[in-house]
């Protein structure tokens, strides 16, 4: 076993649902904040952020911003002159702003941005930049319907967070597409606004006083650039604009501090692999150069596993510095939505979304690089390899332990640690403090030092999350299936399958659900233990579990007899002829429907697994779903 410092690392601690759309910024002290969208249950998500020190160590816990999102757009984030930062997001078609101190604590409250009062008003995107006077500026775009009218607007704030004047109109037109509005602070204390209008990428520069030195006429960056320009300020007071060139590759256009173009647009090497240039980002480096990061196109097309994040550095003259960099380590999942921020030491950090890598749907990952483009490890981060690792942290500093593949044992210290099991059947030993435990894939166990008598509180969170407080601290569990105390083993994976989404139902829930479907009652401890252990052994394959239970309790049963048995167990009667005809269509030997208009299963096990997820049955499981259930350790 090799325990090594980590390079690529998972940013989010909360994992029950998809985490995506990361944005990054570097604060005045060199620390980094990564914010992203947590797509929650029922179409409601939240914005969250995690603060890291200059060496990549954790500062505080993952923090929620605002109350909820209904349209999952990326938030915007910017550093402020006082060392703090500001986050802007769209909450129910209203923009909100929250300011934070350098320590990551809120300064003031969540403040909505005043916008036109109309029921047909919709926010389509936003951007924020911190200004040299300590304030900030927000830009956004809106649309109204049924009349097609689009507007790009801005609102400036002073160092106290008070709005300066009314929102200003950047552009307002009928029947013309406006998009990708963004704002970037310049070294002079001014800023540059960039947006897309009628297929052209245009920009306008402002000085520190909010005046437009060039008369206010928008300057065309590209007449055929299409969409999604990204802007980065440079150390010489100028800036660079990154944009898709003819939807085939990326181009960079540089401007000096007065807004004059420096040479012509330059193609980004490797950009031919970019899908329409949308998955790209740029940041100015402390040496006067810049770095571009982008999302590659699948090769072969249609294979999402081949998406990667690449980066290329440029020096202050615009020449390439070093070779093209493969940013991500994990290559078995799609990597997309990159965001890059420059670091004070001359390096940079790239954040991105990785599909399925954190155990369920998307997760937010990042990697740090030095001024030469060499990957850097994070202070207090340890990782294993593909073997069965034992990783123990004895320090008081907050640490992050990552097992990756194999059946690993991870043990935290006395700080607020994050234990990330990865794949395999892992054991996560509880330390003290406020720890976050993510088992990852497979069947994982949280090992507590004491007995259940020491639990002060326990509560189910969203999805498969669970929160436990003992005398040793508070512990947030996700993707953890078992809890081992000195006086017993317990199943916490009793969350129901959500909306037929694969992997959202716990093994213990499937075992109980199939038992209830067949017998009309919940299983006792012995039966729950037996069949939970069985699905654990089957690699969490609930259809295989259904087949095993059919083979045990109803070998050779016909599909009609199976349907009759389910009705007798659930409704305490036989099905009517119409009900039998309807249900029999779903399973062989009935032929599959033409056009796939209804569910159909070629095995009785697949049919049973489908029926177990229907509302009439899940409603009958309310006495079990989300509870903690004792298990007989002898089965495990």
User: Whole-structure pTM over 0.75, yes or no?
Assistant: no
User: How far is residue 328's CA from residue 350's CA, in Å, rounded to a whole number?
Assistant: 9
Contacts of 49 (CB under 8 A, 6+ apart): 33, 34, 35, 36, 62, 63, 65, 77, 87, 104
Give the per-residue pLDDT at 394.
87
For residue 353, the cross-strand partners are: 336, 364
- C-beta of residue 373 within 8 angstroms of C-beta of residue 340: no
Please write the tens of the pLDDT for every residue from 116-127.
544 446 677 899
pLDDT score for 295: 86
* Exposure string over 261-298, b if 16+ CB within 10 A, otherwise e: eeeebbebebbebbbebbbbbbbbbeeebbbbbbbbbe
Q: Quick one: pLDDT at residue 223?
A: 85
User: Contact 274/252 with Cβ under 8 angstroms?
Assistant: no
Q: How far apart, in Å, are the Cα atoms of 115 and each of 77, 121, 457?
A: 20, 9, 43
Whether the upstream peptide bond of residue 589 has omega within 30° of 0, thus cis, is: yes
pLDDT 10s digits, 216-271: 889 999 987 667 899 999 999 999 999 987 656 789 999 999 999 999 999 886 54
Is the torsion defined by CA of 593, 594, 599, 601 positive or negative?
positive
Q: In whole angstroms, give the CA distance from residue 363 to residue 350.
A: 14
Strand partners, 127: 139
Beta strands, E only, 27-157: 32-39, 45-52, 58-69, 76-79, 85-91, 94-100, 106-112, 121-130, 136-144, 149-157
Question: What is the per-residue pLDDT across 256-298, written as a single tens digit (0 to 9) for each?
Answer: 999 999 999 998 865 445 544 458 999 999 999 999 999 886 5
Does the pLDDT value for residue 336 go beyond 70? yes
Q: Provide the mean pLDDT of the chain.
A: 87
């Amino acid at each position: 076993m090799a325990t090594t410092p980590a390079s690529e690392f998972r940013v989010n601690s909360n994992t029950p649902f998809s985490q995506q759309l990361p944005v990054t910024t570097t604060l005045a002290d060199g620390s980094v904040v990564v914010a992203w969208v947590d797509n929650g249950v029922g179409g409601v998500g939240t914005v969250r952020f995690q603060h890291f020190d200059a060496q990549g160590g954790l500062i505080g816990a993952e923090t929620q911003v605002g109350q909820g999102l209904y349209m999952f757009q990326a938030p915007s984030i910017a550093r402020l002159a006082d060392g703090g930062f500001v986050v802007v997001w769209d909450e129910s078609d209203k923009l909100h702003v929250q300011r934070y101190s350098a320590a990551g604590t809120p300064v003031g409250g969540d403040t909505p941005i005043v916008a036109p009062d109309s029921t047909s008003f919709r926010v389509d995107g936003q951007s924020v930049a911190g200004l040299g006077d300590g304030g900030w500026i927000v830009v956004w775009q809106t649309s109204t319907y049924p009349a097609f009218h689009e507007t790009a607007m801005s609102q400036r704030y002073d160092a106290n967070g008070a709005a300066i004047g009314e929102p200003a109109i950047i552009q307002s037109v009928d029947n013309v597409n406006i998009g990708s509005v963004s704002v970037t602070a310049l070294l002079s204390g001014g800023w540059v606004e960039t947006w897309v209008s009628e297929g052209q990428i245009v920009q306008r520069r402002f000085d520190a006083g909010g005046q437009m030195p060039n008369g206010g006429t928008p300057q065309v960056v590209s007449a055929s650039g299409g969409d999604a320009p990204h802007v980065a300020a440079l150390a010489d007071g100028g800036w660079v604009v990154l944009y898709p060139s003819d939807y085939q590759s990326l181009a960079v256009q540089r401007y000096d501090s007065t807004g004059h173009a420096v040479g012509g647009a330059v193609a980004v090497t490797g950009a031919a692999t970019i899908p329409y240039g949308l998955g790209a980002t740029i940041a100015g480096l402390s040496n006067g150069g810049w770095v571009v990061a982008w999302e590659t196109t699948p090769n072969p097309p249609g294979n999402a596993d081949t998406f990667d994040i690449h980066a290329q550095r440029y020096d202050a003259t615009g020449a390439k510095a070093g070779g093209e960099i493969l940013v991500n380590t994990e290559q078995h999942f799609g990597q997309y939505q990159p965001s890059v921020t420059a670091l004070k030491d001359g390096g940079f950090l790239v954040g991105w979304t990785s599909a399925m890598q954190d155990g369920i749907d998307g997760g937010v990952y990042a990697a740090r690089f030095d001024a030469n483009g060499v990957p850097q490890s994070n202070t207090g981060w340890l990782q294993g390899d593909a073997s069965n690792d034992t990783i123990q942290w004895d320090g008081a500093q907050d640490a992050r332990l990552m097992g990756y593949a194999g059946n690993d044992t991870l043990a935290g210290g006395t700080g607020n640690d994050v234990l990330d099991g990865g794949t395999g059947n892992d054991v996560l030993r509880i330390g003290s403090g406020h720890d976050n435990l993510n088992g990852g894939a497979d069947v994982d166990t949280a090992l507590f030092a004491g007995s259940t008598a020491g639990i002060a509180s326990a509560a189910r969170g969203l999805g498969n999350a669970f929160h436990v407080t003992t005398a040793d601290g508070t512990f947030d569990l996700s993707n953890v299936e078992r809890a081992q105390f000195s006086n017993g083993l317990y199943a916490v994976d009793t969350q129901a399958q959500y909306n037929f989404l694969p992997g959202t139902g716990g093994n213990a829930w499937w075992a109980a659900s199939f038992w209830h479907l067949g017998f009309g009652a919940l299983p006792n401890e012995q039966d729950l233990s037996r069949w939970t252990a069985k699905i654990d052994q089957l690699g969490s394959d609930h259809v295989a579990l259904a087949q095993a239970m059919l083979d045990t309790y109803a070998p050779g049963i016909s599909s009609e007899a199976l349907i009759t048995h389910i009705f007798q167990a659930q409704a305490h009667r036989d099905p009517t002829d119409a009900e039998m005809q309807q249900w029999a269509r779903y399973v062989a030997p009935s032929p599959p429907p033409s056009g796939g208009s209804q569910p159909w299963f070629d095995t009785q096990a697949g049919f049973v697994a489908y029926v177990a997820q229907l509302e009439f049955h899940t409603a009958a499981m309310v006495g079990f779903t989300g509870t903690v259930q004792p298990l007989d350790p002898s089965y495990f």
